Amino acid sequence: MRVPLLEVEHLSMRFGGLLAIDDVSFTAFAREITAIIGPNGAGKTTLFNCLTGFYRPTSGKLTLHQAMRQHQLERMAGFRITRVAGVARTFQNIRLFAGMSALENLIVAQHNKLMAASKFSLAGLLGLPVYRNAERAAVEQARFWLDRLNLSDQADRPAGTLPYGAQRRLEIGRALCTGPHLLCLDEPAAGLNPTESAELNRLLVSIRDELGIGILLIEHDMSVVMTISDHVIVLDHGAKIADGTPAEIRADASVIKAYLGEPDDADLAQIERDLA
């Protein structure tokens, strides 16, 4: 049985006279990959910014289901959405700490746990066992993800010197080190070559299948979306125009129209190839 993880109800976001998100509703389910697609300017990143506390929605509800608790994300400060509700994200542009090593980037992601264990520096300064144990656990967690990301041999290399695809994976690993219930990825395949995209696909499927983490994915690469997604939401000009399985989205005339306008036969054949 499918279990709701995130319920978006009548979400709207207005910037002055611009309605960026227009009464959008959908449900993302636990242990699934839900993709949000649409042309440039459709409102995808604005939706993510509402979910993760960068914007306060003009109206609507954002309910995250976590075990026996529910969190109303639209009412929470951004840092609480990560710390309490367990929502982590990446961005379109890589935001690693370029001068820190790959390992250090993953340890820094566990800052909240380490600060709590240090009693906000006192236990850390005194070298008490509670902090030493937390520090050891943070390093183990970081090394675990480096291994899962195939980056163990790059642990001590500055993050900014890693190949682009490795930086993309490292950024996902940093988000995972926060222990999320919902992982929001904003165009993780951007700039990747076909081999790197295939490696990303395997990573995201393993996160879903082996760790049971729900993934919300913004992506323009349809080979990624249609290969790994369980559920696809399509936005256009801020409104939801389609909602279904990848197969249903491939056959939806409104989706083809949103991407190409009124397509001729050649355009229709091309978009069907892209969605296949």
pLDDT of residue 111: 79
pLDDT of residue 254: 87
Are residues 166 and 269 part of one domain? no
- % of the chain beyond a pLDDT of 70: 87
Cα(34)–Cα(213) distance, integer angstroms: 11
Are residues 136 and 62 part of one domain? no
Domain that holds residue 66: 1-86+181-276
Contact 90, 182 (CB under 8 A): no
Are residues 149 and 102 part of one domain? yes
The residue out of 179, 204, 225 marking a domain boundary is 179
pLDDT tens digits along 198-238: 999 999 999 999 999 999 999 988 889 999 999 999 999 99
Are residues 174 and 68 part of one domain? no
pLDDT of residue 268: 55
- Residue type at position 174: R
SS3 147: helix
pLDDT band at 184 (very low <50, low <70, confident <90, very high): very high
Domain count, the chain: 2
Are residues 248 and 188 part of one domain? yes
**pLDDT tops 90 at residue 131:** no
pLDDT of residue 67: 82
Cα(38)–Cα(234) distance, integer angstroms: 5
pLDDT tens digits along 229-267: 999 999 999 999 999 999 999 888 888 887 756 555 555
Are residues 272 and 223 part of one domain? yes
pLDDT of residue 172: 96
Q: Which two tokens stand for residue 182?
A: 């919902």
Beta-strand relationship, 4-15 and 59-66: antiparallel
pLDDT of residue 182: 97
The residue out of 179, 203, 226 marking a domain boundary is 179
pLDDT of residue 127: 57
Q: Which helix (H) or strand (E) holds 68?
A: none
* Average pLDDT of span 155-183: 95
The pTM of the full predicted model, rounded to 2 decimals, is 0.86
CATH number at residue 74: 3.40.50.300
Are residues 104 and 207 part of one domain? no
Q: How far is CA 6 from CA 26, 174, 181, 251, in A?
A: 8, 22, 10, 26
Are residues 270 and 188 part of one domain? yes
Are residues 110 and 20 part of one domain? no
pLDDT tens digits along 83-94: 899 999 999 888
Cα(273)–Cα(276) distance, integer angstroms: 5
* Average pLDDT of span 122-144: 73
Are residues 3 and 78 part of one domain? yes
Are residues 204 and 151 part of one domain? no
Contact 64, 182 (CB under 8 A): yes
pLDDT of residue 114: 60
pLDDT of residue 116: 61
Going by C-alpha positions, the residue among 90, 104, 260 that lies closest to residue 180 is 90
pLDDT of residue 104: 95
Cα(220)–Cα(206) distance, integer angstroms: 21
The residue ranking higher by pLDDT, 26 or 115, is 26
State the burial class of residue 17 (Cβ atoms within 10 Å of its Cβ: 0-12, 13-18, 19+). exposed
Contact 192, 56 (CB under 8 A): no
**pLDDT tops 90 at residue 71:** yes
Are residues 219 and 266 part of one domain? yes
Estimate to the nearest angstrom the gap between the alpha carbon of 224 and the chain centroid.
14
Q: How far is CA 122 from CA 104, 119, 125, in A?
A: 22, 6, 5
Roughly how many angstroms between the first and final C-alpha of the chain, as a whole number?
27
pLDDT band at 24 (very low <50, low <70, confident <90, very high): very high
The residue out of 132, 157, 179 marking a domain boundary is 179
Cα(69)–Cα(90) distance, integer angstroms: 25
pLDDT band at 129 (very low <50, low <70, confident <90, very high): low
pLDDT of residue 52: 95
**pLDDT tops 70 at residue 22:** yes
